[in-house]
A and B are shown apart, each in its own frame.
Chain A
Amino acid sequence: MMVRLADGDRSVFTQVFELLGPRIHRLCRALLQNQADAADAAQEAMQKILERAPLDYDRARPALPWALAIAGWECRTLARKRARRREVGPLEDATTNLPVPREGGEEAALVQRDLLRAAVEALGELSETDRETLLATFWDEAATSVSGATFRKRRERALERLRGAFRRLYGLD
């Protein structure tokens, strides 16, 4: 059926989709161990498989291993992306456990979470010293190695650079 699809026979498109879909989804679930990630990866993989069928599919070989290889690669890519995001630091995890604000409820919490996530992303653009300074400010800790005036100056500069990074990433302050 994949040969016919690669050859331009559109009548088998839905059949190929329905036949491959559950298998791809099962593979993604097994590889990623997460329902939401597996759904994302399976969707992207299905689109890539059908997109690449006319050009990349070798008609002399069975279709399923080829399709599963693409899906496996898609899962690995997604897993790597997730791992990189986790490397950003504990602040990222903290954003998911924020207390729900009294006013606005769940929606306000979502907005706050998004803002914090954006701030973490912008923090990733700064130098180690700037990050430490801002985190110390966030947790209300004074740096022990530097005097108050130096710390204030550092904080001012770090905040300026954070604003710059935020503006560069999101186009606003």
Chain B
Amino acid sequence: MDSTEVLTLRRARTRYEVARLRAATLGVLPLTLVVAAALCFTARPSSTLGFGLAAAAVGVVLLWYGRAPQRAVLPGTVAGLVPLALSLCANQIHHCGSDGCSSFCAPACTLGGVLAGLLVASIGRRRRADVWFWLPASGMALLTGSMGCTCVGYSGVLGLAFGFAVGLVPGVLGRPSAEKSV
């Protein structure tokens, strides 16, 4: 390879990476809409925004990187929408009795976490995915769900994580031997 070809190769590589980054940024735009919608209903906008920005940043990195982690972004985000929607709905319902008010937020997050875990597990099993799918998908699901689960502080996020683990672990343990895809 002569010097001109090396230079062309280098330029092509830069343009390739920039194109991937641009596509990744465009790819997380729907997630920013979800963040904006969550901000309208949440009780703790700063936490929601923080988790939303983290989810978007992780999404950009995963989409830019490509391969199995890239394919985990959509299932992970969709799975995370379940606890997010449940917690935002629960946040609107207050049950007040003689001993004070209680919120359904934490149970909704735990239930949403279980459902999200089951969803990620079922997709991962169907794809015979390996750790490079499970980890990014779980990360995206947890970050997306956490946007709503901060309604009762970080105990809601812990509830989500616990529920997610309960839903995911059987799927991960019972999966057929994964083929290496990275």
Contact = CB atoms under 8 A, between A and B. Distances in A.
Interface in B67-94: 67, 70
A contacts with B: majority SS: helix
Contact of A51 (B19, B65, B70): B19
Contacts of A54: 16, 19-20, 23, 66
Given A13-B16, A50-B15, A8 B8 contact: no
Contacts of B8: 17, 43, 46-47
A9 B1 contact: no
Contacts of A7: 66-67, 70
A97 interface: no
Nearest to A25: B5
A144 interface: no
Nearest to B63: A8
B127 interface: no
B178 interface: no
A93 B64 CA distance: 48
Given A55-B19, A55-B23, A46 B12 contact: yes
Given A8-B20, A43-B4, A55-B23, A17 B70 contact: no
A13 B9 CA distance: 9
Contacts of A21: 5
Interface in A29-57: 39, 43, 46-55
A47 B9 CA distance: 8
Interface residue tally of chain A, by bracket?
Answer: 20 to 34
A51 B15 contact: yes
Contact of A18 (B1, B13, B64): B1
B contacts with A: majority SS: helix
A50 B13 contact: yes
A14 interface: yes
Nearest to A51: B15
A47 B65 contact: no
A46 B9 CA distance: 8
Nearest to A21: B5
B52 to A, nearest CB: 25
Given A43-B4, A52-B19, A55-B23, A17 B66 contact: no
Contacts of B23: 54-55
B67 A47 contact: no
Interface in B1-53: 1, 4-5, 8-9, 11-13, 15-16, 18-20, 23
Interface of B: 1, 4-5, 8-9, 11-13, 15-16, 18-20, 23, 64-67, 70
24 contacts: A7-B66, A7-B70, A8-B20, A8-B64, A8-B65, A8-B70, A17-B9, A18-B1, A39-B4, A43-B8, A46-B12, A47-B8, A47-B15, A49-B12, A50-B13, A50-B16, A51-B12, A51-B16, A53-B16, A54-B16, A54-B19, A54-B66, A55-B19, A55-B23
